[in-house]
């Protein structure tokens, strides 16, 4: 039996009995007449809106100035030297006890020695001990002394062991560091050692000479506010970069980005998109050059992929080396060596010079072989991202760091696409507030992890853009009566995401859920839509078949293999996953464990807290006010903000496998529709129509209305019954 569309009602019992009216009353009599605004009223409203925008722009400018002043006055610690020791961490030294202290002699490299930093090992979290840290000068006089509780130390992380008054003439002087445990300690800690070549003498542990020295870092100078070291940072940022990147250009870009951020509030809507994309472009270019070369996540392997395509004119294959060459070219290996990429932080950076040129920039000029075998850790990925990067590689001449900066612009372009898609998503979430949509897009553009991933050579930029497109298509699919070709567009979006990385498959349930909700809310429903939608969706996903050429299925060897399974070389980050060798499920889920939420953890917690504590009571109050005819029912907005996490779905962390459900396993929610309807088939209502019990809809003719009421009069009477009434006449 078909269900007739009745009056809209809330999913809970109303506060008062609804007002009834005759069944044959035409709907046109309940609609109030609304006269269009005059030209004078429209002009007056525009002037008031412009005045409000100017006020908000002024307030935003003042807020930016105040926050910038506070940040620049914060202490930033001692500035590092232009040349830092490039230490490679070795095995840990023996445990520190009361009878076996660790001693290390070192020579100060500059004047004003003021602190020592080292990496501490706590054996998983030792807490029941304390250590004494003592620094003495060549004469044996104590320069500084400190007691550290083991519970305050973090395992395998750099820790400031001691800070003391800067020594004015310390350059070239020999000092002595002693770390001993206090009596009565039940647990012990140790200091990490450094491999040979650290230019430090071997350490002593319990009076015995060790093979390696302590991996310590010396600090110089006193703590200064951030404004005092901005000049040093700008000078170093201009080294190992493109020729036009100079401190005045950096300062000008920062000022322009600030002005564009303020202009977003002041300009009208027709110019807001241009201002937003200009802001995202300047920010992206700033990040591409500000980040040192090859400092992005796995950027060396992604650069090697593009370099192989540009030099050889072919797509690399995992497990296959061309002409027996190494995975990385000689030029790339030299760059990693000169940039000290394999050193332990904070020494994993180049040596800076006193002027505008780095200390080793001249060593990049000599021509060296750029050929490689192509069997790098990124060789298993699709070439869709790397093909445009290889074209930028061929179009750029000069040292390798110049080509790296140019190739990063491809990721910036994908970041611009993501910001524009975020704006479209914001407009669907907040159709009545352009400011909220712009705020959402600006938040995406300025998010630190997003800014980094869309400013380096990494195919994550393609995955992020495809994820935003999948989310936008899913939001369109939830609408009843959506286009029949949307599943094809969703398949294309998912296929594009899969062409980036395998964990783009996480967007498939999002698209499927969106289409299912849209089908449930469509009237009339037909099961014939399922095979048609699946066929079009599969056709779109078929674009991702290019992924097969990258190594998911080893066709050349005559057998199919699961990605990252035994015998198939995996990316470096995938090899860290536990248990990727056994079974079919673990290799398939292995790539998914590589994902991390791009939003800060505190941001996810605030969203999860604000949903039940702020949004739910507000929706109940709005529904009650609408029932009394005071206001219209507002559409649910807060739950839909959680769908912004779709492009970076919070998946399980990289390390460990925990089968228990956690908040990071949840799939973000989606808006039910654009009109705030809570159930399939319901109709938006306002206060006036609720008082009369009639849904607000386009006015039909009186004849068609009476015919429809005569045909479905009994169902209309049943729909007017209060919730919980199962039958019986109304009196």
- The 3 state secondary structure assigned to 227-239 is HHHHHHHHHHHCC
User: Which stretch of 444-448, 496-500, 655-659 has the lowest confidence by average pLDDT?
Assistant: 655-659
The DSSP bridge partners found for residue 158 are 119
What does the alpha-carbon distance between residue 474 and residue 477 come to, in Å, rounded to a whole number?
5
What does the alpha-carbon distance between residue 245 and residue 290 come to, in Å, rounded to a whole number?
9
Q: What is the pLDDT of residues 414-441, one digit of tens each?
A: 999 999 999 999 999 998 888 889 999 9
- Assess whether pLDDT exceeds 50 at residue 689: no
Residues 327/321, Cβ–Cβ less than 8 Å: yes
Q: Where are the domains of the chain?
A: 89-223
What does the alpha-carbon distance between residue 214 and residue 204 come to, in Å, rounded to a whole number?
9
- Residue 259 sits at the vertex; the CA angle it makes with 44 and 434, to the nearest 5 degrees, is 45
Q: Which of 610, 676, 617, 607 is nearest to 643 (CA)?
A: 607
**pLDDT score recorded for residue 618:** 54
- Residue 307 sits at the vertex; the CA angle it makes with 306 and 308, to the nearest 5 degrees, is 90
- Assess whether pLDDT exceeds 80 at residue 692: no
Query: Which residue carries 């993501």 as its tokens?
Result: 418
3-state secondary structure of 696: coil
Residue by residue, DSSP assigns 419-434 as HHHHHHHHHHH-TT-H
Q: Which of 162, 160, 163, 156 is nearest to 190 (CA)?
A: 156
What does the alpha-carbon distance between residue 602 and residue 604 come to, in Å, rounded to a whole number?
5
**pLDDT score recorded for residue 124:** 81
Query: Which residue carries 């040192």 as its tokens?
Result: 292
User: Phi and psi of 189, rounded to 5°?
Assistant: -125, 175
What does the alpha-carbon distance between residue 710 and residue 361 come to, in Å, rounded to a whole number?
88
Helix extents (H) in 505-615: 508-520, 529-541, 585-589, 601-610
Query: Which residue carries 């959402």 as its tokens?
Result: 440
- Residue 95 sits at the vertex; the CA angle it makes with 197 and 131, to the nearest 5 degrees, is 105
Lookup: tokens for 625: 């006010």
Lookup: tokens for 567: 């015998």
Average pLDDT of span 47-74: 83
The DSSP bridge partners found for residue 163 are 115
CATH number of 89-223: 2.60.120
What does the alpha-carbon distance between residue 91 and residue 210 come to, in Å, rounded to a whole number?
11
* Ramachandran region, residue 140 (left: φ > 0; alpha: ψ -120 to 50; beta: rest): left
Q: Which of 503, 483, 507, 479 is nearest to 493 (CA)?
A: 507
Instruction: Quickly state the pLDDT bin for 341 (edges 50, 70, 90).
Output: confident
CB < 8 Å & 24+ apart, contacts of 630-634: 630/687, 631/687, 632/684, 632/685, 632/686, 632/687, 633/676, 633/684, 633/685, 633/686, 634/676
Q: Comparing 51 with 101, which gets the higher pLDDT?
A: 101
What does the alpha-carbon distance between residue 434 and residue 443 come to, in Å, rounded to a whole number?
14
Global confidence as pTM: 0.66
Average pLDDT of span 641-658: 35
Average pLDDT of span 257-275: 88
The span from the first CA to the last CA of the chain, in angstroms, equals 27
Residues 341/380, Cβ–Cβ less than 8 Å: no
Q: What is the pLDDT of residues 139-167, one digit of tens each?
A: 889 999 999 998 888 888 888 899 999 99
State what percent of residues in the chain have pLDDT above 70. Answer: 64
Q: What is each CA distance from 528 to 68, 371, 533, in whole angstroms?
A: 59, 55, 9
Half-sphere exposure in the Cβ direction for 51 (13 Å, CA): 6
For 674, other C-beta atoms within 10 Å of its C-beta total 15
Counting beta carbons within 10 angstroms of the beta carbon of residue 138, is it exposed (0 to 12), middle (13 to 18) or buried (19 or more)? exposed
- Assess whether pLDDT exceeds 60 at residue 378: yes
């Amino acid at each position: 039996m078909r269900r007739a569309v009745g009056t809209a009602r809330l999913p809970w019992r109303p506060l008062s009995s609804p007002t009834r009216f005759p069944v044959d009353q035409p709907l046109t009599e309940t609609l109030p007449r609304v006269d269009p605004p005059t030209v004078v009223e429209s002009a007056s409203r525009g002037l008031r809106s412009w005045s409000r925008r100017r006020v908000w722009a002024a307030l935003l400018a003042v807020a930016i100035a105040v926050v910038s002043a506070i940040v620049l006055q914060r202490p930033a610690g001692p500035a590092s030297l232009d040349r830092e020791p490039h230490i490679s961490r070795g095995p840990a030294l023996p445990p520190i006890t009361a009878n076996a202290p660790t001693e290390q002699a070192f020579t100060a490299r500059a004047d004003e020695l003021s602190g020592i930093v080292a990496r501490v090992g706590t054996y998983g979290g030792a807490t029941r001990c304390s250590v004494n840290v003592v620094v003495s000068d060549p004469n044996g006089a104590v320069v500084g002394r400190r007691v550290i509780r083991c519970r305050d130390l973090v395992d395998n992380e750099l820790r400031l062991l001691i800070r003391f008054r800067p020594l004015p003439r310390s350059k070239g002087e020999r000092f002595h560091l002693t770390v001993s445990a206090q009596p009565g300690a039940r647990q012990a800690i140790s200091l990490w050692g450094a491999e040979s070549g650290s230019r430090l003498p071997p350490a002593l542990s319990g009076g015995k000479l060790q093979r390696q020295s302590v991996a310590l870092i010396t600090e110089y100078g006193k703590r200064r506010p951030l404004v005092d070291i901005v000049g040093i940072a700008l000078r170093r940022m201009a080294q190992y970069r493109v020729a036009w990147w100079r401190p005045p250009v950096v300062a000008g870009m920062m000022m322009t980005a600030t002005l564009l951020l303020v202009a977003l509030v002041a300009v009208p809507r027709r110019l807001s998109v241009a201002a937003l994309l200009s802001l995202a472009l300047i920010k992206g270019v700033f990040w591409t050059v500000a980040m040192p070369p090859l400092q992005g996540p796995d950027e060396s392997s992604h650069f090697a992929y593009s370099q192989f395509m540009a030099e050889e004119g072919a797509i690399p294959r995992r497990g296959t080396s061309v002409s027996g060459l190494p995975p990385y070219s000689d030029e790339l290996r030299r760059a990693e060596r000169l940039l000290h990429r394999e050193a332990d932080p904070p020494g994993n950076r180049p040596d800076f010079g006193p002027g505008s040129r780095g200390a080793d920039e001249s060593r990049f000029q000599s021509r060296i072989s750029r050929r490689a075998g192509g069997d790098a850790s990124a060789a298993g990925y699709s070439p869709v991202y790397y093909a445009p990067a290889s074209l930028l590689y061929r179009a750029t001449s000069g040292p390798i760091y110049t080509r790296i900066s140019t190739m990063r612009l491809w990721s910036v372009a994908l970041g611009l696409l993501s910001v524009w898609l975020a704006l479209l998503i914001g407009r669907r979430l907040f159709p009545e507030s352009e400011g909220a949509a712009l705020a959402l897009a600006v938040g995406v553009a300025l998010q630190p992890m997003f800014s980094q991933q869309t400013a380096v050579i990494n195919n994550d930029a393609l995955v992020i853009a495809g994820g935003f497109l999948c989310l936008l298509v899913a939001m369109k699919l939830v609408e009843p009566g959506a286009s029949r070709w949307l599943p094809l567009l969703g398949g294309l979006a998912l296929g594009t995401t899969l062409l980036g990385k395998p964990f783009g498959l996480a967007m498939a349930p999002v698209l499927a859920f969106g289409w299912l909700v849209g089908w449930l809310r469509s009237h009339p429903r037909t099961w014939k839509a399922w095979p048609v939608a699946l066929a079009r969706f599969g056709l779109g996903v078929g674009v991702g078949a290019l992924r097969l050429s990258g190594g998911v299925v080893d066709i050349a060897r005559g057998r199919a293999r699961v990605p990252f399974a035994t015998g198939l070389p995996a990316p470096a980050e995938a090899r860290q996953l536990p248990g990727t060798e056994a079974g079919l499920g673990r290799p398939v889920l292995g790539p998914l464990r590589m994902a991390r939420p791009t939003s800060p953890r505190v941001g996810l917690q605030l969203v999860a807290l604000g949903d039940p504590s702020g949004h739910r009571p507000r929706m109940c109050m709005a529904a009650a006010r609408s029932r009394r005819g005071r206001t219209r029912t507002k559409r649910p907005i807060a739950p839909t903000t959680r769908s912004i996490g779709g492009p970076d779905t919070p998946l399980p962390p990289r390390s460990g496998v925990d089968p228990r459900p956690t908040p990071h396993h949840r799939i973000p929610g989606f808006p039910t529709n654009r009109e705030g309807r809570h159930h399939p088939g319901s109709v938006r209502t306002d206060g006036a129509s609720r008082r009369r019990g009639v849904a607000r809809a386009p006015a039909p003719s009186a004849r068609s209305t009476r015919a429809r009421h005569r045909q479905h009069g009994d169902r209309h009477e049943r729909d007017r019954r209060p919730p919980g009434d199962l039958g019986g006449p109304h009196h």
